[in-house]
Structure 1
Amino acid sequence: MSERMHPIRYQAGVPVYRYATDPAVPPLSVMRFTGDMRPAHGVPHIHDFPVLMYIAAGTDDDDPASRTGDLYVVAPGAVIDAAGMRMGSAVGVLFDPAALGDDTGTPWPAWRGHPLLFPFLHGTSTGLLRLRVPPERQPVWESTLAAIEEELAARRTGFRQAAAAHLTLLLVDVARLAVDVVGDLRRSNETVLAEVFEVIEQRFAEQISLRDVAKSVGMTPAYLTTLVRRRTGRTVQDWLIDRRMSEARRLLAESELPINDIARRVGVFDPGYFTRRFRREHGMTPRAWRERLDPAGSFG
C-alpha cells in the first residue's frame, strides 16, 4: 500500500494521498480487503486520484438485495467518509488517470478526453457514489479484476497496456451504471472544464497564471477556482503543475536534454524551483528519476 500512495499534504487537517508516480510503480493497482478491514490511512481522508471499491454480493438467498454487489466510486479531492461503507470482501482499484492515455498521445489525460471519468465528479457529500452491480454483471467484474491482478503480478511484455485495457472495460461499466450521474455532468459546466484544460494544454510551457487562464475562459479567478475545485477536487494551479510534471517525466524518459532545459520546456524558468517542485511531487529529484529509468547513466 505504501508504495502505491502516500500523504503529500493536509487540507484542513485531513491527509491528502497521492498515487505514486514512480518509474517502478505501475499507474494501476488492485487491493483486497476482508472482513472489517479498512484502508490503513483511516477515515476521513482525501484521495488525489480516482478509486473504485467493489464489494461482492452476499449469500442470503432470501434477501434479493444481498445478491446485488456494491460499487463505490470514490471522488478525487473529496473528503471521504467511509464509516457506513459495507466492506465485506472488497476489492479496491487505485489508478493514476495517466493509465488511460488519451487520443493525442499526451501522457497527461485531460478530463475532456475521458468521459469515462465523469462519474468520479459526482459531488456526493461523503465522497462516495454508491452503485449497484446486478448479479449478471458480477462475474464480469470479478474476472476482470482477477485479470488485472494477474497482469500486474506477472509483468509480462505489455502488462501495463493490458491492465489499462481491463480498467477501461470496468470504467465503461461504471459509466453505464451511473448513466444518470454522467448525464447530469454533461449538461452542467463540463464545457468550461474542457476550455480550462485546453488552455493549460496549449500554454503550460509559458509563464501563465490563474488570472491568465480565467481571462481565457471569460471568468474571474475566484469563480473559476471554485468551479474547478468543485468539479475536480483540485485547483487550476494543481492541474497546471500536473501537466508540467507529466511533460517533465516524459522528457526525462525520452530525451537526453539537460535538467535545466527540461525545466524551461515545461514553463518553469527557475531550475532550482523546478527541482524542488519535482522532488515535492515525486519524492526524488529529476536526476534521480532519470537514473531509475536509465541506471547505466547514458543520459548523463
Structure 2
Amino acid sequence: MPTRSPRPPTYTLSQVSARSPLLNAWPFNASNPLGQIGLHSHQCLSILFFEQGTGFYQLGQRTVTIYPGAVVLVPPGELHSWDAAYNLTGWLLFFMAEAVPHVGAPPSLWWNDPLLAPFTHQSPHPGATFTLSSSLMPLWSAWMQTIHNEVRHERADHVAAACAYLTLLLVDLARLAQPDLARRTARVQPLLSAVFAYIDQAYHQPISLAAVAAAAGLTPGHLTTVVRRHTGRTVVQWLQERRMAAARRQLVETDDSVAAIATEVGYRDVAYFTRLFRRAHGMPPLAWRKAAR
C-alpha cells in the first residue's frame, strides 16, 4: 500500500512571533535564507517585500517571479515555498486581521475590507505579486524596519504604533490592486455580502451550510463553489474565523472564563473550542489572553 505524503505544516503567528499576537516583521538576507522552510502555510496573513535579488516563489499552483520591488501577498492557508533564490534581501511581515484598526472593532469578517480584499481570491491574482515604484521602496523599507523595532523593543503603545505603519503598507497595496479588483468584485459582491452578513449575525448560534445557502438564495453545493472560488476559503473556515475573532476580543477585553467565551461565540463544547483555538493560534485561550494584554 502506498504511503501518504505528510501534510505540509501550517504555522500560527505565535509560532513565528513570540513577542506579539497581532503582527511582526523580520528582515531576511543570504545569511538567513527562507528557502530552508519548504512547502508550508500560515494561519495569518503575510506579505513578502523584496529589496534586492531575484528568484522564483511557488504560491499554490502558480510560480511567481521575484525581483527588486516585488511584493507577494500570501493569504491564510495558501501553500507556498521557494523554488529558487539568488542574493535576496527584504522583509517578511505576518499579521492578524485585527491589526488593521477598523477591522478589529468590533470583530468581523475581513473578506470585503478595502485594505484586505487583495488577499482574497476576489483579487485578480490571489497570492498576488505587485510591483512598488522606486519612490515607494525606501518608504516600505523604513515602515517594515519601524514595525520590527516597535515589536522588538516593546516601548509604550508599541502595538498601536506598529499597526499604524501596517495600515500605511496596506493602503499602498489597496491602491495598486484597486482597478482590477473593482471590476472583478462587481458581479459577486451582492451574493458574498448576503453570505457574510448572515454569518456575522448568526455566528454565535448553531449554523448549517444549508442555512447559509438559503440566506444567499443558493444550493449548498453552489454556495461552496462560489465562496471558495472568490475568497479562497470555505464557508466553514469563514464561520470559524468569525468565531475566533469574537473569542480573541472577549479574551482581551473581559475576564470571562474560557467556558463562558466558548458558549458566547457559538461552541457548546469548551474542550472542542479550546482545541480549535490552539490549532488556530498555537496556544490555548488563557495563554493567548496573557500574551495579548
Which one scores higher on RCO, CA 8 angstroms, separation ≥ 6? Answer: 2
Which TM-score band (shorter chain)? 0.7 to 0.9
Query: Which residue among 3, 12, 17 is the counterpart of 2:11?
Result: 17
* Alpha-carbon distance in 1 for matches of 2:162, 2:122: 28
Match of 1:173 in 2: 172
Question: Which segments of 5 or more consecutive residues in structure 1 lack a partner in the other structure?
Answer: 1-9, 59-65, 295-300
Structure 1 length-normalised TM = 0.78
Match of 1:98 in 2: 98
Q: Spell out, residue by residue over 1:217-243, the C-alpha distance to the aligned partner (whole angstroms, 9 max, x if none).
A: 111222222222223332111121222
* Alpha-carbon distance in 1 for matches of 2:92, 2:289: 30
Match of 2:59 in 1: none
* Alpha-carbon distance in 2 for matches of 1:271, 1:152: 32
Query: Which residue among 29, 54, 58 is the counterpart of 2:24?
Result: 29
Q: Does 1:79 align with 2:79?
A: yes
Q: CA RMSD in A?
A: 3.3
Structure 2 length-normalised TM = 0.80
Q: For the structure 1 residues 277 and 121, does the alpha-carbon distance in structure 2 shift closer, same or farther, using more than 3 Å as the test?
A: closer
Q: For the structure 1 residues 280 and 93, does the alpha-carbon distance in structure 2 shift closer, same or farther, using more than 3 Å as the test?
A: closer
* Alpha-carbon distance in 2 for matches of 1:23, 1:107: 23
- Please list, as runs of the form range in 1=range in 2, the aligned pairs for 1:274-285 lying within 5 A after superposition: 274-285=273-284
Q: Does 1:51 align with 2:46?
A: yes
- Please list, as runs of the form range in 1=range in 2, the aligned pairs for 1:105-144 lying within 5 A after superposition: 105-112=105-112, 114-122=113-121, 128-144=127-143
8 Å CA contact 1:52–1:71 kept in 2: the answer is: yes
Instruction: Compute the displacement of 1:206 (Å).
Output: 0.9
8 Å CA contact 2:23–2:99 kept in 1: the answer is: yes
Instruction: Compute the displacement of 1:89 (Å).
Output: 0.6
8 Å CA contact 1:70–1:133 kept in 2: the answer is: yes
8 Å CA contact 2:50–2:71 kept in 1: the answer is: yes
AA aligned opposite 2:216: V
AA aligned opposite 2:191: V
AA aligned opposite 1:16: T
Instruction: Compute the displacement of 1:176 (Å).
Output: 1.9
Q: For the structure 1 residues 235 and 214, does the alpha-carbon distance in structure 2 shift closer, same or farther, using more than 3 Å as the test?
A: same
8 Å CA contact 2:43–2:77 kept in 1: the answer is: yes
Q: Does 1:89 align with 2:89?
A: yes
Match of 1:200 in 2: 199
Instruction: Compute the displacement of 1:57 (Å).
Output: 4.6
Q: For the structure 1 residues 78 and 67, does the alpha-carbon distance in structure 2 shift closer, same or farther, using more than 3 Å as the test?
A: closer
Question: Which segments of 5 or more consecutive residues in structure 2 lack a partner in the other structure?
Answer: 54-65
8 Å CA contact 1:201–1:243 kept in 2: the answer is: yes
How many pairs were matched up? 276
